[in-house]
Amino acid sequence: MKSLFVVFLMSALIPGFALAADATPPATAAKPAKSKVDPALEAEHTKEDVKRHRQMAAAHEAAAKCQESGRDEAVCNAELAKACQGIAYGKYCGMKHPD
């Protein structure tokens, strides 16, 4: 009976010792790489993207109103393509990124 108690006690304690032995010190976090892009140029690029997104949104809103008015879809798509010329590509005015 006594030996059974000792076996039980040891089996209960062994997992705790095993976990303590596996504990490793936390690794230090690596520093993120610094961007080589000039923050001023990045801000200007973002500003231009926002401007083009708004132009595209206005063109798409106009196309939606065109279709709601009952005009032919081909006419509305042609107007959309014309409104997006220079800022977007494709038949349905997708965003064009210069980089």
Q: Which amino acid is at 32?
A: P
Cα–Cα distance, 63 to 10 (Å, whole number): 77
Alpha helices in 23-97 (DSSP H): 39-68, 73-83
Tell me what the mean pLDDT of segment 5-34 comes to: 63
Higher pLDDT, 50 or 18: 50
**pLDDT tens digit string along 25-44?**
666 777 877 777 788 888 99
Can you name the residues that pair with 99 across neighbouring β-strands?
A: none
Per-residue pLDDT tens digits for 40-99: 888 999 999 999 999 999 999 999 999 999 999 999 989 999 998 888 877 778 865 555
Tell me which amino acid residue 6 is.
Answer: V
> How many other CB atoms are found less than 10 A from the CB of residue 70?
6
- Confidence at residue 25, expressed as pLDDT on a 0 to 100 scale: 63
Tell which phi-psi region holds residue 71, choosing left (phi > 0), alpha (psi between -120 and 50) or beta: beta
